[in-house]
Amino acid sequence: MLRKRPEVVINVFASMDGRMTTAPGHNVMEWTSYGVDGKANDEAHKLYDELNCDALVSGSESLIVWSSDWVDLENPITTPQKSKAYIVFDGRGRMDWAQTDGLIVVTRMNVSQTYIEQLESKGITYIQAGDGEKIDINCALEQLYDLGFRRLGISGGGTINGAFLRAGVVDEISVVLAPLAIGGRTTPTIFDGDNLASIQQAVPLKLVQAKPIGEAVWLYYRVKKQVMS
């Protein structure tokens, strides 16, 4: 029997060619600190409330990049007010948590016991989904629904975005395109993951809204639900 899950909204800012950072290992906040993102970063964060997201979701890989390539901002980015939690998918148990307020960790059933002990000793709420090599996204979403979440805003990066897209659980995509062209062969994109075998596997979208925001452009799509034959 199918269980209920929260709606999933990918909400990110990227360059006009869909790049999430300047290069691998770079913190995208450098675009903001240098004043070249057309305020796309702040505008994307404002949209979480407009899109009614009751929690923000990220992958541990993004946090590792942010911490290793920290960028100080002169002016703070808008903090979403409707978000009740910050949910991090950390299937491999790589994070050593310092900030725990409002944190929910999603990991695997077969993650190391040492990691579980860390979560419990720090009083961090966590759920376990799947006992394979990766988190079972559908199982995780069902558990998050049971915790009261109804609309999740996925805040990047490309790896977790790509995983949710391939799992077929993305309902909407919101992208604020910064006035930048980045390029690159291995630079992270909005959706990183396995290549498609055919065009039939592409995810069709319906445009809901498109509008300029200063020098940036907001594109808002709903995923077209495919009818099973």
pTM of the model: 0.93
How far is residue 160's CA from residue 147's CA, in Å, rounded to a whole number? 21
* Mean pLDDT of all residues in 49-76: 83
Angle, CA of 39, 41 and 42, to the nearest 5°: 70
In this predicted structure, the answer to whether residue 61 has a pLDDT above a threshold of 70 is yes
CATH of the domain at 219: 3.40.430.10
CB 89 within 8 A of CB 46: no
Per cent of the chain over pLDDT 90 is 81
Q: How far is residue 194's CA from residue 45's CA, in Å, rounded to a whole number?
A: 28
DSSP letter assigned to residue 160 = H
Asked, for residue 130, whether it belongs to a domain, the answer is: no
Residue 208: inside a domain:
yes
Task: Look at residue 156 in the predicted model and tell me its pLDDT.
Answer: 77
Does 15 reside within a domain?
yes
Q: Is residue 174 in some structural domain?
A: yes
pLDDT the model gives residue 90: 95
Residues 6+ apart with CB under 8 A from 2: none
Closest CA to 173 of 39, 42, 12: 12
| 15 beta partners | 178
At 67, is the pLDDT very low, low, confident or very high (cuts 50, 70, 90)? low
Of how many residues is the chain composed? 229
Question: Does residue 125 register a pLDDT over 50?
Answer: yes
194 is a domain residue: yes
Beta strand segments in 169-215, E: 172-178, 205-213
Asked if residue 117 is part of any domain, the answer here is: no
pLDDT tens digits for range 13-43: 999 999 999 999 898 899 999 999 999 999 9
- Decide the pairing of beta strands 151-154 and 7-15: parallel
Return the amino acid letter for 90: D
Q: Does 118 map to a domain?
A: no
pLDDT at 1: 52
Question: Which pLDDT value is given to residue 229?
Answer: 45
Residue 34 buriedness (CB in 10 A; 0-12 / 13-18 / 19+): exposed
Is 111 within the bounds of a domain? no
**Average of pLDDT values for 124-149?**
96
Structural domain harbouring 22: 7-89+150-223
Provide the 10 A C-beta neighbour count for residue 224: 10
67 or 78: which leads in pLDDT: 78
161 versus 226: the higher-pLDDT residue is: 161
Average pLDDT over residues 125-154: 96
| Cβ count within 10 A of residue 93 | 19
Number of structural domains found in the chain: 1
